[in-house]
């Protein structure tokens, strides 16, 4: 059996997902929640095979929940099912350790197949997601040096690095020995300097620069 935890704040959508997935005799819906906090608690308690996760939830980002769950239970497979098509969210989800990212327009058959494949250890990306990721891979090789324009202090850069690893403010504070308020202040400054508004954008910018630096380094070896 493939145990599934549904994380979706809209009840009508949850009912639809339950109806579709319950038609597969291999699937066992072990729980349904609608917040990040409940997702973390129930995933740890129930130890499902797959968590089918929405990206935006009332109390935070599913990406943060993904990171927290995998930190405690690395064997759980997390599959995002969302209506958000932006590239930053897709990259942040992959960076957080998600096994897949599907758009909600996906057909019932494709969703069922994706859950099965993720449970077997495969990674799943929607065709539109694949095209966006390919476009990003092409852009990452273009000559540019955005890091020079970031003007971040060493501590601000360390905070950004922790954000890119999917850590919450509380986790960042613990790792760097800071208060939650100090972390919030650092993030406000970082967001202002980078001209962004979301954590997923910060994570995407960091990983882009990391990949560019790695590519440049490889050409020197």
Question: Is the confidence at residue 212, as pLDDT, over 70?
Answer: no
Alpha helices by DSSP H, 96-198:
108-119, 127-140, 147-150, 154-164, 169-176, 180-194
Residues of the chain with CATH 3.40.50.2300: 2-130
C-alpha to C-alpha distance for 173 and 183, rounded to whole angstroms = 6
For 109-155, the pLDDT digits (tens) are 999 999 999 998 887 765 566 566 556 555 554 444 444 557 888 88
Superfamily for 2-130?
A: Response regulator (3.40.50.2300)
Mean pLDDT along residues 2-14 = 95
- Fold exhibited by the domain 147-220: Arc Repressor Mutant, subunit A (1.10.10)
For 62-112, the pLDDT digits (tens) are 988 998 898 889 899 999 998 877 767 777 787 778 888 888 888 999 999
The DSSP 8-state label assigned to residue 18 in this structure reads: H
**H/E segment holding residue 181:** helix 180-194
Residues of the chain with CATH 1.10.10.10: 147-220
CA 192 to chain centre: 22
Confidence at residue 91, expressed as pLDDT on a 0 to 100 scale:
75
For 49-64, the pLDDT digits (tens) are 999 999 989 988 898 8
- Using CA atoms, how far residue 172 sits from 46, 161, 163, 203, in Å, is 27, 10, 8, 14
Closest CA to 77 of 46, 110, 42, 122: 122
């Amino acid at each position: 059996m493939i145990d599934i935890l549904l994380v979706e704040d809209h009840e009508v959508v949850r009912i639809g997902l339950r109806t579709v997935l319950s038609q597969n005799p291999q699937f066992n819906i072990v729980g349904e929640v609608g917040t990040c906090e409940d997702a973390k608690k129930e995933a740890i308690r129930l130890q499902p095979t797959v968590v089918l996760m929405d990206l935006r939830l009332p109390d935070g980002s599913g990406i943060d929940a993904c990171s927290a769950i995998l930190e405690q239970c690395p064997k759980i497979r997390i599959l995002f099912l969302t209506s958000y098509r932006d590239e930053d969210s897709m990259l942040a989800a992959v960076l957080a350790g998600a096994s897949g990212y599907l758009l909600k327009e996906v057909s019932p058959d494709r969703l069922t197949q994706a859950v099965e494949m993720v449970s077997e250890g495969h990674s799943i990306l929607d065709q539109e997601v694949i095209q966006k990721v390919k476009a990003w891979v092409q852009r990452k090789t273009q000559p540019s040096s955005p890091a020079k324009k970031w003007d971040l202090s060493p501590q601000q850069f360390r905070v950004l690095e922790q954000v890119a690893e999917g850590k919450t403010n509380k986790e960042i504070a613990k790792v760097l020995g800071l208060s939650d308020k100090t972390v919030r202040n650092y993030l406000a400054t970082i967001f202002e300097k980078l001209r962004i508004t979301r954590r997923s954008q910060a994570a995407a910018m960091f990983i882009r620069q990391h990949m560019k630096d790695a590519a440049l380094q490889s050409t020197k070896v």
